[in-house]
Amino acid sequence: TLPLPEDPDVDHSDDLPVSETFAILRRALAETLDVDPVRVTPSTSFLRLGGDSIAAIQFSSRCKKYGLDLTVADILRNPIMATLEQCAELIVDQADA
């Protein structure tokens, strides 16, 4: 039998170990948008997955629940997961200073 085709929506180009911050973002985003966490990579766009302002409110709330203090504005200004991760880490660093 032939192998199953790969999901074209899954980007394997950045299948690298992820930081704790990214793992939290991935979990929160997957729960918010009801998507498979495998689809959430550093190059994933919150907006491209179907995120909107209401979802950003829910995503922000879930992030806070898991210890990341991201605002709706942070999410909408940084819709790519890699840049949102950097934003979240900057906020944590500032809080620790």
| pLDDT (tens place) for every residue of the chain, 97 residues total | 555 555 555 555 455 678 999 999 999 999 999 999 999 999 999 999 999 999 999 999 999 999 999 999 999 999 999 999 999 999 877 777 6
The pLDDT score that the predictor gives to residue 18 is 84
The correct CATH number of 20-96 out of 2.30.290.10, 1.10.1200.10, 3.40.720.10, 3.40.630.30 is: 1.10.1200.10
**Can you tell me the distance from the alpha carbon of 38 to that of 27, in angstroms, rounded to the nearest whole number?**
10
Count CB-CB contacts under 10 A for residue 94.
Answer: 9
**Core vs surface per residue 43-79: b (16+ CB within 10 A) or e:** ebebeebebeeebbebbbebbeeeebebebebbbebb
The pLDDT score that the predictor gives to residue 94 is 78
